[in-house]
Chains A and B, each alone.
Chain A
Amino acid sequence: MLVTIQNHYPMLDNLNPKLYRPNKPGSGCGPPIARVCTIPAPPEGAIQLIGPFEELFVLDTKGNEVEIKEDVKPDIKPLSAKQQKRAKLAETPKCFEVLLPRSKVPDPNAKRNTVKKVGSRATDLSKLSEKRQLAKGILQRKLELMKKDKKLAVEKRKKAQSVRETYDKNIWEQDDLESKGIPETLVDDFISTEAQLHNVPITRRLRSKPPPPKTVVTRAAVEVPHPGVSYNPSFKEHQELLQEVVQHEQKMMKREAHLYRVTTGLFSKVTPKEKEENWREEMSAGLPQPHNPATDPDPEDEPADNEYKAVNPPVRNKKKDHKTRRKQKERLAEREVLKRKKIDKQKITDIYKLRKIQASVSKKEDLDAESRVKRTSKRLQHAATALPALNAHKTPVREPEFVDPKLLTGDLRKISGSGNLLRDRFQSLQRRGALAASKIMMTKRKKLKKYFKPGHKVTDQDVDNFLKRSAAKDH
Chain B
Amino acid sequence: MVSKKKKKYSTGEGAQFITRKAALKKLQLSLKDFRRICILKGIYPREPRNRKRAQKGAGGIKTLYHTKDIKFLLHEPIIWKLRELKAYQQKIRKARAQREYRKMRQYFRDYPEINIDHVVKERYPTFVDALRDLDDCLTLCFLFSTFPSLKKVPRDQSLLCRRLTVEFMHAVIAAKALRKVFVSVKGYYYQCELEGQIITWIVPHHFAFQPQSKDEVDFKIMSTFVEFYIMMLGFVNFKLFHSLNLVYPPKLTAAFNSETEKDLVDERAYVAERIAAMNLSLAKIAGSNEAEELPEIDIFDTEDKDPQKLEEAKLEAEKVKKLKTMFKGLKFFINREVPRESLVFIIRCFGGEVSWDRDHFVGATFDESDESIAYQIVDRPSMDKQYLSRYYVQPQWVFDSVNARSLLPINKYLMGATLPPHLSPFVDKTRDQVYMPPEQKALNDPNFKPLNDDDPSDEEIEEASDEDNEAKSEPEDAEEALTRQYQQEVEQDSPSEDEEDDEKKKLAKEKKKAMAVTTGVPHKENPYQIQIEDKQAFRLREKLVRKKHRNLYKSMKAGQENRKKEIWLLRKKRRLHDERVKEDKKAEKRTQKKQALEAALNIK
Q: Could you tell me which A residues sit within 8 Å of B by CB distance?
A: 157, 160-161, 163-165, 167-172, 176, 178-179, 181, 203-205, 207-210, 212-213, 215-216, 220-222, 224-227, 229-237, 373, 388-392, 401, 403, 407, 410-413, 415-426, 428-429, 433-436, 438, 440, 442
Contact = CB atoms under 8 A, between A and B. Distances in A.
B216 A423 contact: yes
B182 interface: yes
A413 B135 contact: no
B426 A210 contact: no
A210 B216 contact: no
B421 A224 contact: no
A422 to B, nearest CB: 5
A170 B239 contact: yes
B427 A418 contact: no
Contact of B238 (A167, A232, A391): A167
Given A165-B160, A391-B63, A421-B204, A229 B216 contact: no
Contacts of B564: none
Contact of A167 (B64, B248, B337, B419): B248
Contact of A421 (B124, B186, B421): B186
A233 B212 CA distance: 28
Given A233-B422, A425-B222, A210 B66 contact: yes
Interface residues of B, number: 94
A442 B379 CA distance: 45
Contact of B234 (A167, A236, A415, A434): A167
Interface in B56-103: 60-64, 66, 68-69, 71-72, 75, 77, 80
23 contacts: A165-B258, A167-B238, A172-B126, A172-B130, A209-B43, A209-B72, A210-B66, A221-B139, A222-B201, A227-B426, A231-B185, A232-B422, A237-B421, A389-B61, A390-B46, A391-B61, A416-B185, A423-B216, A426-B221, A426-B222, A435-B44, A440-B215, A440-B217
A413 B115 contact: no
Contacts of B135: 220-222
B339 A412 contact: yes
A449 to B, nearest CB: 24
B423 A230 contact: yes
A420 B212 contact: yes
B75 A204 contact: yes
B122 interface: yes
B7 interface: no
Contacts of B468: none
B235 interface: yes
Contact of B422 (A209, A230, A436): A230
B419 A232 contact: yes
Interface in B197-213: 200-202, 204-205, 207, 210, 212
A390 B186 contact: no
A30 B147 CA distance: 104
B200 A230 contact: no
Interface string B216-232: 11100110010000110
B186 A419 contact: yes
A224 B44 CA distance: 24
B136 A425 contact: yes
A395 to B, nearest CB: 11
Given A390-B63, A415-B205, A442 B214 contact: yes
B9 interface: no
B173 interface: no
B356 to A, nearest CB: 15
Contacts of A236: 440
A426 to B, nearest CB: 5
B184 A231 contact: yes
A169 B221 CA distance: 28
Given A204-B75, A373-B551, A412-B338, A167 B201 contact: no
B515 to A, nearest CB: 68
A433 B43 CA distance: 11
Given A171-B120, A171-B121, A230 B421 contact: yes
Contacts of A157: 109-110
A459 B204 CA distance: 50
A60 B75 CA distance: 90
B242 interface: yes
Contacts of B133: 221
Contacts of B418: 410
A170 B218 contact: no
B94 to A, nearest CB: 19
Contact of B421 (A233, A403, A413, A419): A233
B113 interface: yes
Contacts of A207: 68, 71-72, 75
B189 interface: yes
B160 A164 contact: yes
B362 interface: no
Given A170-B239, A171-B117, A423-B216, A392 B61 contact: yes
